[in-house]
Amino acid sequence: MESTSPNYLKPLCFIFFFFLQSTTASSPPLLPKEALPTKSGYLPVNPTTGSAIFYTFYEAQNPISPLSQTPLLIWLQGGPGCSSMIGNFFELGPWRVNFNKQPSEPLALEPNSGSWNRIFGLLFLDNPIGTGFSIASTPQEIPRDQFGVSKHLFAAITNFVGLDHMFKSRPIYITGESYAGKYIPAIGYYILKRNAELSKSRRVNLAGVAIGDGLTDPVIQVATHAVNAYFSGLINERQKHELEELQLEAVKLTEAGNWSEATNGRSRVLQRLQNMTGLATLYDYTKNVPYKSSLVEDLLRHEEVKKALGVSNVSIVFEECSDLVGEVLHEDVMKSVKYMVEFLVRKSKVLLYQGQFDLRDGVVSTEAWMKTMKWEGMEKFLLADRKVWKLSGETAGYVQKWGSMSHVVVSGAGHLLPADQPLRAQAMIEDWVLDEGFFANVQEENLTSICY
Give the catalytic positions in this structure: 178, 358, 415
Residue 55 parent element (H or E): strand 51-58
**Buried b / exposed e along 264-277 (16+ C-beta atoms within 10 A):** bbbeebbebbeebb
41: burial class by Cβ within 10 Å (0-12, 13-18, 19+)? middle
Q: Taking the CB of residue 51, how many other CB atoms lie within 10 A of it?
A: 22
Report DSSP state, residue 111.
Answer: E
Pairwise CA distance, residues 99 & 449, whole Å: 29
412: burial class by Cβ within 10 Å (0-12, 13-18, 19+)? middle
Nearest to 215, CA basis, from 375, 82, 383, 55: 82
Pairwise CA distance, residues 251 & 234, whole Å: 23
C-alpha separations of 253 from 181, 247, 248 in Å: 21, 10, 9
Handedness of CA 152, 153, 156, 161 (dihedral sign): negative
Nearest to 360, CA basis, from 290, 419, 436, 292: 290
